[in-house]
Structures are given as structure tokens and as C-alpha cells.
Amino acid sequence: MVIQQIDQRSRAGYSRDYIGFIKSMAKVRTIKSFQKLGELLVSDLNYINSEERTHIKQAVLSSFIAYVKNFPDRSTKWEDTFNIWAIVKFSTSNGKAYATDAYMEMAKKWYIENKDNLVLDMDKY
């Protein structure tokens, strides 16, 4: 029920609303909340301009890097989703260019294949 309330309240079609949604879902930290985030990762969001759409997907990606244990490039070094967001948005880390279209496509494909088998990092709770 909490996830449903956050979902209804947070998404009005602007990136700042989605960013609030992503922050809230990352705080809930359940499989269902990360599946909701994954839905954003794979959705087209065509009604949002390209730059904002990219920011939303990068924020989702940062939450997966921080908290989903079986995500391919998961990092144990970063504790907070939005500290990671800066790395995802502006740079590379461990030889990965997270902001590229190719990396985003890999993340989408991984999510589609693993959405029912997400393993959350319980050490971060």
C-alpha cells in the first residue's frame, strides 16, 4: 500500500516528480519498490523531454548500482543513491561509462531478464 501511495503521489510527468519517486522507492527498499524503479528504466517515457528522460533513467540506474546486489556493476563503495547519481551522470567509474546509451541498453536488458530475481543488499539497511 505504501508503494502504491508513493506511486500515485509522486509522478506527475516532470523529472523532479520522478526524482522524488525514485528517492522514495529507494528508501522503501523492497523487491516491489525496485521493480517499480525497473519499470521506469525500461519504459520509453516519450511524453518527457529527452534530457529529463535521461536524468530519470540515470537516477534509477544509480539506485540499482547502490542497492541491487546482483546488478552486474553493483558497488559496495557507494552508500547513497544520489551520491552515485553524480557518478552515473557525469563520469565513469571502474572503467564503466554509465551515461552512455550502450550502458543504459545493457541495464534495461539485464532488468528485463532479472526482474523476478532481484537480490537486495541487506547490509545497507
Strands 96-97 and 92-93: antiparallel
Query: Which of 65, 103, 97 is CA-nearest to residue 82?
Result: 65
Q: How far apart are CA 101 and CA 111, in angstroms?
A: 15
User: Cα torsion for 77, 67, 107, 30, to the nearest 10°?
Assistant: 180
Tell me the pLDDT tens digit for each residue of 10-20: 555 555 678 88
Question: What is the pLDDT at residue 58?
Answer: 84
Q: Is the pLDDT of residue 112 over 90?
A: yes
CA quadruple 70, 73, 77, 83: dihedral positive or negative?
negative
The residues spanned by each domain of the chain are 2-116
Is residue 8 pLDDT above 70, yes or no? no
Per-residue pLDDT reduced to its tens digit, 32-86: 989 989 998 999 888 888 888 888 888 888 888 888 889 887 765 555 555 666 6
